[in-house]
Amino acid sequence: MPWFELSEDALAFVNALGHYGFVVVFDWRAWETEAKRLIDTGGVEAAGVDDIRRLLTTLIRSDSFVEGQLAWAFESGLMVRILRRLRDIDTN
């Protein structure tokens, strides 16, 4: 059966997200529709820090159920979009 394993750098990034408070406890399954809306409509580029935290948490938690979800987030450029948004928030 095929499986996916994140690189050491990707795992370190995910661990750092948890360490620095970007993975939060909330009902991420109930928020998946909102996460999809943010991703599909360009909402990531206007999201606030709380929504970015929820989005990152949703991506990380859902990877346990949809193997490769995080890989897709990296490969599709979504993580770059998220990080750019955090940079923009930080510089404003």
Would 12 be classed as within a structural domain?
Answer: no
The answer to whether the pTM exceeds 0.85 is yes
Q: What's the pLDDT score for residue 67?
A: 85
Would 87 be classed as within a structural domain?
Answer: yes
Would 20 be classed as within a structural domain?
Answer: no
Residue 89 φ then ψ, to 5°: -65, -45
Q: How many folded domains does the chain comprise?
A: 1
Closest CA to 3 of 58, 49, 62, 67: 67
Q: How confident is the model at residue 37 (pLDDT cuts 50, 70, 90)?
A: very high
Domain coverage including residue 60: 30-91
